[in-house]
A = this chain, B = another copy of it.
Amino acid sequence: MMEQESVRPFLLQARYGIEKESQRVTLDGELAKSNHPSTVGNRNFHPYIQTDFSETQLELITPVTESVEEVLAYLEAIHDVAQRSLPKDEMMWPFSMPPALPEKEEDIQIAKLEHHADVLYRRYLAREYGKRKQMVSGIHFNFEYGLDLVEQLFLAQTQETSLEDFKTHLYMKIARNFLRYRWLITYLFGASPLSEARYFDSEDRPNEPVRSIRTSQYGYVNKPDVQVSYESLTRYSQDLAENVALGRLSEEKEFYAPIRMRGGKKVADLFHTGIRYVELRNIDLNPFDRVGIDADEIKFIHLFMLYLLWTDEKLPADDWVAKGNHISDAVSLEHPTKTTAFYDEGQQIFTEMLQMIKELDLEGSDLVRTYQNWLDHPEETLAARIFVLDENEGQAAVATEWGRKFYEQAWAHPYQLAGFQEMELSTQNLLFDAIQTGIEAEVLDRHDQFVKLQHENHQELVKNANMTSKDTYIAPLLMANKTVTKTILARAGFRVPAGETFGSIEEAKKAYLRFAKKAFVIKPKSTNYGLGITIFKNETSIEDFNAGLAIAFAEDDAVIIEEFMPGTEYRFFVIDGQVKAVLLRIPANVVGDGERTISQLVAEKNADPLRGTHHRSPLEVIQLGALEQLMLKEQGLQINSVPEQGRQVFLRENSNVSTGGDSIDITDEVDESYKKIAIDAVAALGANISGIDLIIPDKDKPHENHEDYGIIEANFNPAMHMHIYPYAGKSRRLTMDVLRFLYPELTH
């Protein structure tokens, strides 16, 4: 069936979702004593960051995605958020097996959930299985065949007449084949060879090392009397119901199968919904990857799932599954560096997989061959590699070291969000905050910085982290038109620099009398690195005026003569009628120490991890190009000059952060009266999110009259990252302010 023309275009269509558990530990590898981080949104609704059995056990959950890249991007991002939401002295334990457990079982904290039923269920589990076994962690991998694929398979057969029934039969077959062949997953990716102190509290324990304690009979499994048939959904459901009725299980979800059929809230729901997808539960944490699973592993599992569809069952259902369980138990407890007893069957599975790949013209044969090779080289399997490392250093030391490595990774560039690093920093920050808060965040277009947010029925679209439904269509168009903006602000009573634009030098010369006695600036209409600009502060002669015009017209066909406003320019970031940040930007500079050259000082300043290139960091490195050298020359300096102790040397005229300028947060220092002006001016423009630039001669002296400030412009797509990660001063988490504005119901 899978070879049919109609089916083949859709073979690789699938949807994935990952749940990953991790124990929170201190940087010394001890189980954390703290509560679930309060920086993270409420566990009542949080879609990404939950707790499993114990208060220390994080459960990280990706949304359902349609590609390997996407599911890993989300898992990476959620990891960054989870790690950076923990106290600075905590990290995630990278192994499935928990760190050394407390001596007293009561010191293992059950998750402090709000809903009493959730707590009661965990208490029941603690009584029934003991708390220690619940502390193991792993990956739950949700897998769904593509809808087109299933539909085409349905159309290609004649036995089933209902698509829902067909799907259910298909997934039941998958479940049986998975149970039969799942040992191969354990062989390759089993990664819990050794337990840590006090995981086992009795002599009923394996003879370590093994391939996977977690998937073995010593792992977290149901008691042997719980038996369920996979022959059909009807029998499966009946058996589960019987186990619950007889009290062997408290409820259906206590059935810890290596594969679960999903689709409705309860198993009985599957009869109307059909089985929609399966949850694979036998995957240990891969400690060589900080998110516990890597792309190759997922791609292999995908091909393995296609193989389970492709291959026929060779025994009656219950026998087939029982045989699989038997082999799985055996492989789990094999010594990790030894050849498996099921080597031949392994070779057969790989050979058939490669045959399938060839016949269906799929990609992935190299990958399958790599893993096939591990049959001959058990030392390549995850369990073996961990065991070898453990033998040398001790498992706790290895886990701590690796946990720290991942911890350092998460903190190295805190302004970035793994998985989304090619997006704008402000969008990365917004995604971080949404994930942390528990707002569902989906990137609709990475290149266009288009994000969809959702909480319950409340959807919001956000572009560039600041373009939202909270502003009107017309407000940014107004701000984009600098002339009209000035008109509106001036009419509303704000001071803006009066100016005129001239298209010819003759026309401009006639304006002399109107400006001669004022302070004014002549500049090309399109300013470019300050070229062609002349500032006149006192009474200006006609000769100087005309000379200034000549300089400006040499740079552009149109020239602006504008009132000059003395003072310093500040960016006020207004959101929802409040000034959330005020920033001073100063041009690229270094401060001399009387010893080092300018180029050495620049190199040192550029070593700051906040500085990078191409807007991948909140600050840009200082260049030493032609413009900077010209600027030095004008000050009588060269890149090899050694400025004296304390002398600030500027390398640029313009204060843009994008050309190496420094950003300095002064939100708490600027007088409140100027904040009021910024708020009122943004309101006069009808805007709700805007970065408005004010010139202020003395920011400490309260605003008194029309002369003590001027509004330069208002920006409809203001940079946010420079406020969140300033060169100096306090961080202002503007992306969180945007979320608060969009979702007051969540954040107020």
Q: Name which of A27-35, A472-480, A727-735 contacts chain B.
A: A472-480
CB distance from A324 to the nearest CB of B (A): 34
Which A-B residue pairs are the 10 nearest by beta carbons?
A9-B513, A471-B473, A9-B514, A469-B472, A444-B484, A461-B474, A463-B477, A467-B473, A469-B474, A445-B484
Tell me whether A472 and B474 are in contact in the complex, defined as CB-CB below 8 angstroms, given that A9-B514, A448-B484 are known contacts.
no
A613 at the interface (CB under 8 A from B): no
A499 at the interface (CB under 8 A from B): no
Chain B residue contacts of A9, Cβ below 8 A? 511, 513-514
Chain B residue contacts of A516, Cβ below 8 A? 5
Could you name 17 residue pairs across A and B whose Cβ atoms are closer than 8 Å? A444-B487, A445-B481, A445-B483, A448-B481, A450-B478, A450-B481, A461-B686, A463-B477, A467-B473, A467-B474, A468-B472, A469-B473, A469-B474, A469-B475, A469-B686, A470-B472, A473-B716
Query: Which size bracket describes the interface of A in this complex?
Result: 35 or more
A517 at the interface (CB under 8 A from B): yes
Tell me whether A471 and B468 are in contact in the complex, defined as CB-CB below 8 angstroms, given that A444-B487, A448-B481 are known contacts.
no
A136 at the interface (CB under 8 A from B): no
Which of B10, B473, B476, B517 has a CB less than 8 Å from the CB of A468? Answer: B473
Docked complex: A466-514 residues within 8 A CB-CB of B: 467-478, 481, 483-484, 487-488, 511, 513-514
B469 touches A513 (CB 8 A): no
A110 at the interface (CB under 8 A from B): no
A8 touches B474 (CB 8 A): no
- Chain A, 438-477, contact with B by CB distance < 8 Å: what is the 0/1 string? 0000001100101010000000111100011111111111
Report which residue of A470, A476, A477, A487 has the largest number of chain B beta carbons within 10 angstroms of its beta carbon: A477
A6 at the interface (CB under 8 A from B): yes
- Chain A, 390-414, contact with B by CB distance < 8 Å: what is the 0/1 string? 0000000000000000000000000
CB distance from A318 to the nearest CB of B (A): 39
CB distance from A264 to the nearest CB of B (A): 22
Please report A residues at the B interface, Cβ cutoff 8 Å: 5-6, 8-10, 444-445, 448, 450, 452, 460-463, 467-478, 481, 483-484, 487-488, 511, 513-514, 516-517, 686, 716
B8 touches A484 (CB 8 A): no
Chain B residue contacts of A444, Cβ below 8 A? 481, 484, 487-488
How many Å lie between the Cα of A467 and that of B476 in the bound state?
11
CB distance from A403 to the nearest CB of B (A): 38
How many Å lie between the Cα of A476 and that of B468 in the bound state?
11
Residue on B with the closest CB to A491? B452
Chain B residue contacts of A487, Cβ below 8 A? 444
Residue on B with the closest CB to A716? B473
CB distance from A584 to the nearest CB of B (A): 28
Which of B8, B450, B474 has a CB less than 8 Å from the CB of A463? Answer: B474
Tell me whether A8 and B513 are in contact in the complex, defined as CB-CB below 8 angstroms, given that A450-B484, A477-B463, A484-B445 are known contacts.
yes
Chain B residue contacts of A478, Cβ below 8 A? 450, 461
Chain B residue contacts of A468, Cβ below 8 A? 472-474
Chain B residue contacts of A6, Cβ below 8 A? 517
How many Å lie between the Cα of A645 and that of B467 in the bound state?
57
Residue on B with the closest CB to A478? B461
Residue on B with the closest CB to A471? B473
Chain B residue contacts of A452, Cβ below 8 A? 488
Chain B residue contacts of A488, Cβ below 8 A? 444, 452, 461
How many Å lie between the Cα of A476 and that of B9 in the bound state?
35
CB distance from A43 to the nearest CB of B (A): 27
CB distance from A141 to the nearest CB of B (A): 25
Chain B residue contacts of A5, Cβ below 8 A? 513, 516
Residue on B with the closest CB to A510? B9
How many Å lie between the Cα of A5 and that of B542 in the bound state?
13
How many Å lie between the Cα of A281 and that of B686 in the bound state?
41
Chain B residue contacts of A473, Cβ below 8 A? 467-473, 475-476, 716
Chain B residue contacts of A8, Cβ below 8 A? 513
How many Å lie between the Cα of A477 and that of B717 in the bound state?
13
Further pairs besides A461-B477, A470-B473: 15, Cβ < 8 Å: A5-B513, A444-B481, A444-B487, A444-B488, A448-B481, A461-B478, A461-B488, A462-B474, A468-B472, A469-B472, A469-B686, A470-B472, A471-B473, A473-B475, A473-B716
Chain B residue contacts of A460, Cβ below 8 A? 474
CB distance from A478 to the nearest CB of B (A): 6
Residue on B with the closest CB to A511? B9
